[in-house]
Amino acid sequence: MNGGPTPATGVTLFADLPAASTFGSANGATCTRQGQGPGDGALTCEVGAIAPDSSATVMIVVTPTEPGTLTLAAKVFADQPDPNRTDNSATETTTVTR
């Protein structure tokens, strides 16, 4: 969510892939994967511009390789300085069972 008074440009999302997973796909941005093994590396996603009081959604799909807890952490950055960086990250946790 861009809560600022001006557009956020050059918005980039960085996501650390869960270790016990393989990358499936990403929608909502142009993403590049770093590394090729299971849970290897991260994604860099070019989101672009977000208008004031608007948001963008990037859906990242992974396939678990074993039971347990999968955690995906993501951070976003833009070309402009952000006076409130506390809302520039998110974590999603899922429990995988057999």
Q: Are 59 and 15 in contact (CB under 8 A)?
A: no
DSSP state of 95: E
H helical segments located in the chain: none
Sequence-distant (6+) residues with CB within 8 A of 86 are: none
Task: Domain ranges for the chain, please list them.
Answer: 8-87
What's the length of the chain?
A: 98
25-84: per-residue pLDDT in tens?
A: 999 999 988 766 555 568 999 999 999 999 999 999 988 999 999 999 999 999 998 888
